[in-house]
Amino acid sequence: MAQEVLINVTPQETRVAILEQGIVQELHIERASSLGIVGNIYRGTVVRVLPGMQSAFVEIGLPRAAFLHAADIMECHTEEGAVKTDRPIQEVLHEGQSIIVQVIKEAIGTKGARLTTEISIAGRFLVYLPYQKHIGVSQRIDHEEEREFLRNRLLGLLPEAREGGYIIRTMSENATDQELLADIEYLRKVWQKIQTESTNVGERSLIFYDLSLPRRILRDVVCTETTSIRVDSREMFERLKEFAELYVSHAVKPLTHYKGERSLFEFYDIENEIEKALARKVELKSGGYLIFDQTEALTTVDVNTGSFVSGKNLSDTIFKTNLEAAQAIARQLRLRNLGGIIIIDFIDMDEDAQRAAVLEELRSAVTLDRARINVNGFSALGLVELTRKRTRESLAHLLCESCQVCQGRGELKTAQTICYEIMRELLRESKQFKNAKEFKILASPEVINMLGDEESQSLANLSDFIKRPVSLHPDTQYGREEFDIVWV
């Protein structure tokens, strides 16, 4: 599938858009103030061990302590390398202990970054596991004969007295022996540098920083089907060209410097795609639409027919809408970088064959996703559950924050509701402050107008009941749900 890569660079942030068949499929953003940390290696200090949770908190120099679970601790070096500990965490770690760790998941929401002691270093074709001995193959390569061929091929290139293990990445299928040997040498040098740095740095310090976003894109995303890589920064273009010549030779030819007057993202209408990816509602070409609701625990997707009525009958309309929705949902998961549990509420279908076809369409669509996805069948309630590996913040969490007006609810109380709250508060304060001669209500113009118009009779009756005058004072600095009652 033809692929294009657009790299927009500013001093504040770097943005990358990945297009397939001319349609934006992925958006990646890395800001100078908060560079991605997945893959980084640190010398950390254990600050708290929690036996009840079989986990520990480790300070690595970030604003929040990172999280290390017992399942991610490697020890017991054997002939096959390190294995995950089977001892209770309190027997392995103690407070104040110095430990080398790697970030496997960025801090998301209120949760700190997740760590592991199983170090892995990614190259172009291989992932090096310095504490292991085995040779693994990417799960994306599912043919057993191909897996065995790649494993034996790599073993033939490695010295008999090798140190460490490897995972063969999918891109190695088309790699030459020279490219694999170059990757092995590169990973060996990186590991030697990490070992040297680990003895020289102090506590809670960075030992190894993974590649910047543009270089990771060249390493992990660019392939032989990539037709163009456009970079709008001359300096970044030169850096990427040098990197590509050393490590990603097939990226040199499509790599170009974009010199247009208009912004690269504006020229390719990427800015508009970003706005759409932040919207709750996604329109389908047929007239149907999707509704995305993202919470900390999971994301729900609701499918609706909307104005789509071109089917032969209702059942056909629903079926066609669900098929189109399956494709659109797969794209939106990548575009928005939604991870964790995703629940999809397709429109109810009566026929088992239609449900099977929609499920197959969804499974086929998500195979293009680089993140690991597991799709389950329809539940008894007619819902489809899938999980998508999450290693970094979603696009919405990266670019947005909770609304300061509604506090993230997504809804505001009506002006009438606020009027009634004000009158209840006025009654309460009249009983508490019996010496008050007058009450002044300060609120937004919208609420004050309703108190002086539609609710004027109710306010007058309340004033008579508490036997004190009430005056209204609009203030544009007040939001709809904000008000103050002042007594004199």
Separation between Cα atoms, residue 388 and residue 295, nearest integer Å = 15
Separation between Cα atoms, residue 103 and residue 116, nearest integer Å = 7
DSSP 370: S
| Pair 474, 449: CB distance under 8 Å | yes
Separation between Cα atoms, residue 24 and residue 339, nearest integer Å = 19
Q: DSSP of 404-424, one letter per residue?
A: TTTTTSS----HHHHHHHHHH
Q: What is the mean pLDDT of each run of 10 residues along the chain (488 residues)?
A: 92 93 92 77 93 93 90 72 78 92 84 90 90 86 87 88 86 82 87 88 87 89 90 95 85 94 92 93 92 90 81 82 95 94 94 94 92 90 91 85 82 95 95 93 96 95 95 95 94
Separation between Cα atoms, residue 354 and residue 261, nearest integer Å = 50
| Pair 120, 81: CB distance under 8 Å | no
| Pair 455, 419: CB distance under 8 Å | yes
184: nearest Cα among 129, 231, 238, 144: 129
Residue 408 φ/ψ region, left for φ over 0, alpha for ψ in the -120 to 50 degree band, beta for the rest: left
pLDDT in tens, 254-281: 999 999 988 899 999 999 999 999 999 9
> Token pair for residue 293?
């609701």
Percent helix, percent strand, percent coil in the chain, to nearest 5: 35, 30, 35
Question: Chain-centre distance of CA 244, in angstroms?
Answer: 27
Amino acid 111: pLDDT: 81
Separation between Cα atoms, residue 42 and residue 58, nearest integer Å = 10
The radius of gyration of the chain's CA atoms, rounded to the nearest angstrom, is 29
Q: Which residue has the tokens 């908060």?
A: 34
Does pTM top 0.75 for this prediction? yes
Collapsing DSSP states into helix, strand and coil, what is residue 227?
Answer: strand
